[in-house]
């Protein structure tokens, strides 16, 4: 299953030349992953209230083209693998008007307690996440 999330580029996202500042792609990807998990009925605030969170453990990014002010972007998030305490997600950020692929990300998330220690993903959440991973096969 690939989750799709649209984002408009605003002034706050760009440098003085109207080009998206590189670190803002991280924000776009984070929002899209949050919305992907929300499709399972899980809000990040609920997870935090239970004392847990997903934290980025490792990430690679390829910057292919630039987004500009007013572009409408789509972030495609595809769960790739699920471990006992981890989730791997592939993401592509593309511009919608021409379909240009702008950024590719491979993200490994660790499931942690809020004190920073690793934790096993609870069975109910793991089953929901596994359904997302299995759908792509």
Q: Which residues contact 93 (CB under 8 A, 6 or more apart)?
A: 25, 28, 29, 67, 73, 74, 75, 76, 101, 102, 103, 104, 105
Q: What one-character DSSP code corresponds to residue 130?
A: H
Q: Which two tokens stand for residue 2?
A: 């690939």
CB atoms within 10 A of CB 130: 13
Catalytic, 71? Answer: no
CA–CA dist 88, 72 (Å, integer): 26
Residue 93, strand partner residues:
75, 103
Distance CA 107, CA 105 (A): 6
Catalytic residue ranges: 15
């Amino acid at each position: 299953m690939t989750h799709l999330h649209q984002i408009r580029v605003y002034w706050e996202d760009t440098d003085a030349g109207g080009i998206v500042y590189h670190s803002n792609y991280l924000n776009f990807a984070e929002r899209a992953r949050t919305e992907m998990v929300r499709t399972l009925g899980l809000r990040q605030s609920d997870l935090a209230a239970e004392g847990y969170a997903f934290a980025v453990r490792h990430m690679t990014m390829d910057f292919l083209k630039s987004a500009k002010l007013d572009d409408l972007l789509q972030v495609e998030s595809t769960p790739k693998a699920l471990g006992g305490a981890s989730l791997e997600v592939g993401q592509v950020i593309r511009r919608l008007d021409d379909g240009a692929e702008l950024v590719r990300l491979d993200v490994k998330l660790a499931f942690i307690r809020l004190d920073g220690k690793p934790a096993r993903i609870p069975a109910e959440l793991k089953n929901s996440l596994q359904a997302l991973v299995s759908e792509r096969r």
